[in-house]
Each structure stands twice: as structure tokens, then as C-alpha cells.
Structure 1
């Protein structure tokens, strides 16, 4: 027995029904009230039910009733009913049928979208379709279009609606005439058309034309469904012309090119072979993308002797690159060619992504077949673990190369994030004045805390920043932080006039001038006296002979800043350039300073250069000073400032609380003394013999002879203390006079086996650094042939003085009577 059911939850509900043919009524106690809300009873005329179905469903239902009457069997069919604003799919069963009555039941089996919902969804689908849909009336005036009209052609609705579609159709090939004829014939049409976009540029489309008959108005509507094509007719013609631009178009010619390139390699070069797949809107190696790659390559500034591309078959790009043997340079060259290949004025709207497989000749492949096979295997196995370069995937056959370049890619990604969040630390390294042994300056240096799962160096990160043209952002962030921290630094380092040195890297020459001007503007915005700021510029950028940069440097100096040349001596120096720029400070590169105590030639070079800079009114900073021996040499040659681990490593602001005590501890440990202005020398450490050579007591005489050619005497060390000295005279007295003569015997050769401790002079005279210069001079006046060993309070050797070092001072300190 039927019961009243709510329309909210009727899935699975069944309704009994009867069609009384004689009375022409359709009866159902529960279904009729639900279908006809304004009806009071449980029956309606059968035509009323049929009217609730669309014409197709009505015919469908009647046909099944006729079949049941004819075959006298149970028949089922599906109909759609709208019940209380909801749409349901129903299974209709016709159980009995005769000429007077037809009965059965209707079961609701699925809830469908309501009419309003359906309209809304269809409208959404229409407007957001990936195809461009244009609907025209009988006059071919545009009456409706979807959102693709704006995305594909740039038009807004109001700019196209109501206009003839001929306004945007290019009729070069009589296309519109053909479409117009088909519309008059009420026939469908498909083909290729070119539409004008808002900028009057031609855009190719694949088109389908269909007709729709509006029975209510008895009018025909014309529906255009358009799909953007890969390239236009003009480009197709151009593509045919460009086919000969590939360096090869088959495997045989490709191998010949590989052989030719291999013959031209020198010892510092390597050859890489790559295979490349392109993807445009998910389509792999489309004809247009191949043409665009070819067009980009042959219209770009590539060195065609070092970069070559061609086709392995009809749709597979492969290439050759001549690079260095350094992995990072190989990857840099590969990224360069990928970047330029996908950048083309003809494909601004096409986002070309590449997958690249790479093999390196001589590293992972020994012949052409292996090179090609390994590149192909690498291309096939591109996945998420490959190197990502701006969305492109690169995979080397050698996993070690992938690891190296993946490391770099991860640092790049982490650095990019740090720059976007301004998450950079600044460390400060003191610069100590030799004359006063106090901190006069401090250099601000970038330090990074990158979210990568491995260790890295600051220099490594700086190089990556330079390669990606991010170094300006790094320098600016460091400057901003340092300018805020200069005041607390001045308090911690006990110098209210502390000078701040800030680096300005100028790698990208096209923006050097603007970067310098931006830096000056940044400094002027602060309340800091500009005379306290030193701008350090790399030697290579200063001497790039760019007159605009030189002019800007002069303007910065006029504003009150000090200009310093950083890393001087790294290879770009021209002494004539020193007179062209307002350089107040010169920082000698640490590679020159390292181990200078053992290299007399470098000592003389630094001494000469220091005298030159002093004569020009400048001062010298020595970078990378790590030992007291380096300090003593640099003090002697006249350097003004010391920077390096000898006094302090770079530290964050908070870590500088004990820096002054630490520097004073170094001064005390090595008994360093301040210098006094004037011609007289007041510190005996400046009299030390340079280039001392240390030897072991058990070293053989034969081993000592070559070392005496570098130094006048050798210092014999035992447990960090000097126990004796060896001169050339000591060696001559120890060996046979027949050595290296025709009369030499085996007995004579044995004299070369004597040990250093057997022939050395024991230390006769020693003093500490507190010994005055006058006392030293007096000593050598009495003992001119002696050697004075200078030690610290703990007995550690600091240096050695001989008569030659003191001789120039004798007249100054002890004037003789005429």
C-alpha cells in the first residue's frame, strides 16, 4: 500500500500507477500529488502526464506501452521526472496491459541535477570550456561567447557581442565565404580558420560549425567550436624554409659531427651529447616546437663551433656542446643553451618545457654509439629526482654529475628562498691597525643558513648568487643590516669612530652603475657619517674601463665615502689605473699574503707596492693574515692594516663581546709592540731576518745545501725552540773539500751524511722583544759576526737578527765622530 513520501529522500521509493484508457486518466495515490503540487486528487488526465515529459520521453513511453499491449509481457523502460524541484531517474515497469487498463509501478533509482542546477552547470561548462565557443544568430551576428574569447583573442564581451563574426575572421583563403554558404544551407562545416585577435595578430584555429533550431522562435543559431592550432599557415610555409637549418637530420650525419668535434678538442675541453624532448601544453615534440627550437638556435648568438643541434629522426632533437672538463661549467653551458632555445619572439605565448638526457664523452661513454645510447637512457629516465632548471628536467647518465649539479640546484633554490624572506646573517671581521694594534675598521660579510641537507661554503653560495644575478640583492641586504648594527659594534669594539667596510660586487656590467648609485642612496638615508663608510669594490670591476662606472665612483668619493680596492693582485691590475680613481685603501689579496714569510720575492713585491701606494696617499690592508710570522713580515714592509684569523675570524654581532680581550691576548702572547712615527725604528721585530728556514736536528747536510741557497742561515728547531743555527760556512767546514770533484771518494761522500745538530752553531746570544733597538745596535757593534735570537717570554722563537739588518741604523742611532 502506497504511503505519503517526502521528496527530500525518495531514492528507492516505488509508486503504483494505473492508466485507465477508457477514462483517459492516470492514477497514483502518492506519485500524482508529488508530480502535480496544485492537484487535489490522485489522478490526472493522461495527456497531463505526457506533457510533463519532453517530446522524446513521451514517444519513448508510448512505444513501450504499445509493445506491452502487443506482446502481453512485462516491459521496463527509463524516464526522468521532476518532483518537488528535484530531478530523478525512474525505472518504469509496465506489468499488465489490455485495451481498457495499463498498470505497473515506478521506482526512483537516482537523484539527478535539478533543472536550475543543470542550467548553472551547463553554463559553467560552456563558459570555462578549453575551446573557444561563439554562437551567432541567423545574420551571423555574435550573440554569446565563452571566456576563451578573452584568453585566446583578448576581446571583452562588449567588444564582440552584436558584431558580425566576419569582423574577426581572416578571409585570405575565402574561408568566411565558405562558412556563410554552409550557414545558408543549414549544413555543418569543419576546417581551419584564422581569427584576428585584439591586436590584429592572426591566430590559427581548427573550427567546427553546427546548427541549432530554436523551435520556439523558429530560428536557426550557428555554433562555432574553435580549438587553437599549433601554428599558422604562414608559419607552416616558414617551417618548410627552415628545414635546412638543422646541422643534421639523421643518425649517420650526427655521428660524423661527433667525430669532427672530437678531433677539434684540446686537453682542457670535453664534449657532451644530449637528447631533448619538448612539451607544449602536454604535447610532446610537436612540429611547431621543433621549428621554434631550430629558429631560436639559428637566430641567437650561439658560437656555432661549440654548440650544435640537429634531428636524429623526424621528431627527435639531439645536440653537441663543446665545454670545459669542469662539471659546473658543463652544466652551466647546457643550461645556457636550454634557456636560449625556449626563448623566442615567436613563442611568447607558448610555454615550452624540456626534458634533457646527457652523456659526456670519455666520462661515461667511449664511442658514438654509447654516447647516443646513454643520452637516450638518461632522457627516458627523467623523473622528479632529476635536476630542475626553471621547470626543465635535466638528467646526466653519470649519477655523480647529477649529484654535483643537484647540489648546486638545491643551494640555488634555498638561496632564492632566503633572499625572498630576507633571511641572511652578517658577520664582521676586525681590521687591525699595525701602528696602534687596535681595531680601526670592520668588514661586513654575508653568511647564509640555507635549508639544505649538506655542508656548503660561503664562497660557493656567493658564486651561485653571481651566476644567477642575485648578488646585488645579497649586497643590499648585508648593507642594510650592517648599517643598523654599526653603533652596537662600535661599543663592543671600543671605538666610537669605527669604520664600516661594505662590499659591492659588480659582476653584471650592464647594471654596475645603477647598483653603485642605489648603494649611495642607501647610505645617504642613514644618520651615519659617510666618512665612516668604506665601499669595497673588486679589482676586476673597477678596472673594466667603463667611463660611466668611473664617473659614479668619483661621485661616491665626493659624497664622503672611502673607496677601497678589494682582492688587489688577483690578475687585473694595471698600475696606471691607480692614478685614475680616488682609491684610499688597497686590500692585497690573501693568496699573495698566505705563506709570505717563506717567499722573499713576494715580500719585496709587497714592500715595493706599499711604498708606491703610500706615495699616492693611500694605505694598505693585508687580507688573510694567519700567523705571527706573516704579521712580522707585513709589519716590516710597511703595511698599514691587518685582517685575518691571526687576530679574529668573522663573527656575528652577538659574538663580538670578547673580541677586544681576544686581540689584546694575541698582542700579549706574541709580545707585539706599537710603532712610533718617524724615521727611527722602535720595535726590534722590524729588524728580523726575512725568509727564515726551519730545519730538524737530524736533517742531513746534503739536504741542507739547497736550502742555504734561499736563506743565509738555517734555524735548528727542537720542541718549538731554537737550539742552533747553520750557515754556509758551517756546511763548508763540515764536508770534504773534494765533494763534486774528480778526486771525490766514498769516504768524502760520507761527510754529506752529517746531521744538522753535529755542525750547527749553538745559540750564544738571545733577547726578548722588549730589548731596545739601541741595545741591539750596541751588541752588533761589539759582535758584528754574531746572530741574535729573539724569543718570547716562553722561549718561543720569534725571529733572528744579524749585522746586515742593523747596519743601516747605526748612523741614525750612534753617530760617529769625524
Structure 2
């Protein structure tokens, strides 16, 4: 384009500059003719003066000159001769010569021959000289025109090049640079996307309209086990995607433009692929090609199966877990509703498993649970489902039950199967079960309710002595509701400070003087009136509420201890909770460290609490005695304390349980047992306190045996601290 512009411009300038150069030959030719006429005029004039030419000849010559002069002037106008004459200052001179010659053409003027002929000759000679000079000037101008043309062409060429460069630099360079950069970026982006396509971990495929593989990356080939060529991919695509599935895919693509799903092959090993296919349209919104993404999800599916196993099966026994059994019971509810069938849910709990776990260790406990699960599975039908809910709780879903007798027979079979000890690590472990039973649809029609009511029945079986089975009935549920209500009231009682202390005097049997008291906890419920400790303390222990209650007891006891005489001993009962977590007890002992005569503070511990963890109990008792406080074994004779443990634990006082005192005056066995305990304690250097003394006869027997102290309703029922101070300090009892 630039070259065309340059050529057109050069031609225009050439046309302008060459015009003058082109006209120069014509100008010189005409100027020559003009000179010849003036020369002829001068010759005729000279001839006439020498009488060599007649007047007629002169006249004819002058007329011819006038005619030729007119012609030359006309032609001169055509080639712009007048303009050139004007430039050379010849226009007036030629005009005067032409006019003078024209005048000579008139005959009358010839009469003045001498003067006119002389003038004609002079003018002709002058014109010749001027024309010669002009022709010479024109010849030089013609030569200069050629040089000027070359110069203009060169200058224009340079100017044009500079102009083109400026236009390129300021107008075209930036867009051109941007165009080049854009093109490079596009090429770079295409290369990057190609590399991304080829090196992607996802299997990527491009398919034409007929589903032929146009391109497949390495991952796609690896997924399809085809590493050599696209033909293998072609085979894979048509073989793995069957016609039925392909029809579904095409239907989805036509409706929503994409399809996503799983494809699997049952070869030597099942392979699962996740495939996503989309339509790619062209600029006319017509199908251009298909794009597919493939991913081998075999490992993911295997992990999902493992997670499913973990989610639905117990990791220890391999049995169904809670979620699984609930789903199974729900499914059976649906089936039985349609067929009017019956089935039972058996809630099975191992009796005393905590003691087994604590005594033999958790490793043996886990092995025992595994063996129990295997044995339960072996004695049930294949259609039944055995599950472990957790801990020592199992559930059996017994399907297709025709009568309650079938359930009874199944329960007895379970009991009998575990009569023999289970061998674990060369240890024979004897276990028993408490089994609760609920039946569909008579007891409930949902999985959660069936499990709940079987659990209630199991709890009742435990309450009635364990190692038995119980069918659910509505009275059990009422009992549980009452229990839950009791729990709520107990929690509220702790929050609302509804507890208080009473104090039962301890009497020196020999003197009849009061020597101390035992602090007893009472609960004045806002909804239940006065609640016995025998009712709320076991509940508080099972709900892990004793720590909160004991904190209150310790704080209240600290105030009473500080108010009592320094020689007056004060007995506090320690709950089993302090032997598993002694932080609260340690804090209380720290507060008691400032008390004078620490030996008047007595901590009472039951036999059952001690035997739970004999080692830890020994450490705690030694710590209490080391700080100067006394320790008594409470309810002695009702637990499992051996004589060895009695010596090892280093008690200060033995408290004989009221169950032995009650019949001491009427039953010889009870009398002998109490007498033996008193003699044993005396031999060990221990004091004895008899609990539950209610009659004078009982007191006399104890005095006879040499028992040191007694407490009971014979002396006083538990009373408030003010009543204790007013009634007993300084008084004797007979």
C-alpha cells in the first residue's frame, strides 16, 4: 500500500516537473522560427536598401512574415510561449516587432522606406540577439530540469520514508506490537492448555460427533489401560460404554448438555470409573465435539466400602453396630407391617463386665467381647442380626417370631450357651446376661421405640437380680419415667441447695458420755419432701453427682468442726468417687490442716469402696492417716474385706453394720459374730463402734463384749447441730 502511494505521488510530481522539461524543445523550435523570420526581415531590409529587392517583393515578404508571425504567436499561445517570453522579458519586444511588421504590410507605409526599413532591420537584429540569448537560457533550463527532477525524486523518497517510519512508529507500531504480543500470548496459552491437557491427572478425551476419539491424554490412556495409540482408546470407549448406557448419556446430553456417572467393568478386578461428558458447541450453536473427563475411582470406592464397614459394623467384633441394627430393625418394621409379621428385639447386657475389665484388663475384656459376639452369632438363625451397641451391650434382632414361647426358648438358649466359662488367655471367665425383650408390634412399631423398651426391660432384669430375661411391660416404663423424674429433681436439688446435715451422737458405752457424732446427709426436695439417703445417694453415684454433693458436705462440715469442742470427734462418710478422683478430698484435707487435734476427725469408708481398688484405697487411707486423721471401716461384715486386707489397710476403728446388731439379743449367730468382731478388733488394737443400737438389751450385750462405742436410735435419732449441742454436751446416758 505504501509503495503504491509513493509511486502515485512520484508520478504527480514528475508530471508537474516534466511539463516544463517537455515544453522546452517546442519552445526552442518556435523561438528558432521566430529568429528566422526576424533574420529574414533583416535580410529583406538590407536588400531593399541596396536596391536588390523590388517593393513588391518586399511587400510580399512582409505579408508572409505577418502571416507567419501571427501563426507563430498562435502556436506560442498553445505551448505557453508567451509565458516563457514574459519570463525572459521578450513579450513586449516581440509584440512591438509584430506590430511594426504588421504596419509595414500596409502599402502606404512603404513610402517611408528608408526610415522603416532601417527600423525593421534594427528591430530584427535586436530580436535575433534576444532570441539567441533566450534559446541559450532555455537550453540551460532544460538541462537543470532533469537534475531538479532527480533531486525532487530523491528528496521525496527520503521524506516519504521518514513519513512512513513516523506513521509506523506512532500509528502502526503499537497496534502491530499488540497484535504480535496477542498472537504470541494466544500461542503460549494454547501451548499451556495443551500441556495442561496432556499432563493432567484427570483422563481427558475429545470425541467427534460420531464418538470417535480425536485426542486422549496420557491419564486417559492409563485409566483405560491403553498406552499405545488412540485406536486402543477407541476400542475402550465403544466396548466399555454399552449401547443402553450410551443412550442414557446421549439423552442427558440432549436435554441438559452434560452427563456424569460411574462406569465399572467386571474383569479380573472390578474397576470403577467416574465419567463426565459435556457437549461443546461452535459459534453457530451447533455441536462441534464432545469433551469427556475420566477418573479411576476404584481406590475411592474401596475406601468408601471400608468406611461403610466402619460406619455400619463394630470394629472389635465385626458385628453390626448401632446405626446398622437400627436400620435393620426399621426395614423389618416395614416388611412386618406389610405381612402382619412379628419379630423381637433382645437387648443383652453382660452382668458385672466392668469388674471383669478392671480385674483382668481391657485387652482380655476386648477378647471376651469378641468371643461373646461369635458365640451369639453361632446360636442364632442366619436371618437374625446380632449387633454390638458398644461397651458390654449387644442386641439381637430375631425375625419371624410366631409366639412368645419362641422368644423364651431363644433367651434360655442364650443363657445356657454361656453357662460354661469362656476361655480367654488361659483364664476361664464366667459371665451372665441380663436380657430385655420388646416385640413388634405389640410393644412398639419403630426401631427407636423397640430398642428403648428392650433397654427398659433389660434394666428391670438387672434390678431383679441379673442373669435373667424380662419382657417389656408398661409398668417398667412408668418406673423408668419415675427414675428420670427423680434424676431431674436430684440435679435441681444440687443447684437449689436443698441438702442439709443431721448429726447422730456416738456414745462411750462405759461412761455413757457423748464423744462425737457422725454427719449424715439429708435431702429436703422441693417436689418430693424428705428423701432418704438410701434412695438418692446410689442415684447420685450412678449419675456422677457425688463430687458436687461432697463439695457441699465438706464445706458444711468444716463450719461444724470449727464450732464443736476440740475433744469432740467428727465422722464424715467418704463416697467411692473419692477413690477414683481424690482432688476434692485432697482440697478438703488441705483446709483441715489448720484444725487442732486432727485425730478427732474420722473418715468412714465402706468395705465395698475399699475392695473396688485395694491398691489405690491403701494409698488414700495411708495419706489420710499420715496427716493425723483417723479412718474407720464402715458397715463391717457386709463386704469382702479379708483379714489380710484388714491388717494391711491399717484402720483405726471398725464400725459393725446394723444388720448384725439388730438380732444380737435374740439370735445366737449374730451375737457370736459381733462378739468375734469385737475380740478381733481388740486384738488388733482397734476401737469398735456398733451401729443401729435401738434397745437396752442390745446395748447391754455390747457392753458385755467390751465394745467401746455405740450409736443408734436408742440414744438419739440424727438431729441438727443446735439440738446436739443443747442435749448432749456434758451429759451422761444410762
Structure with the largest fraction of strand: 1
Flag the structure with higher helix content. 2
Fold shared, TM-score > 0.5 on shorter chain: no
**TM-score band, normalised by shorter chain:** 0.3 to 0.5
**Greater Rg over alpha carbons, structure:** 2
Q: Which structure has more RCO (C-alpha within 8 Å, separation ≥ 6)?
A: 2
Taking structure 1 as the reference length, the TM-score comes to 0.38
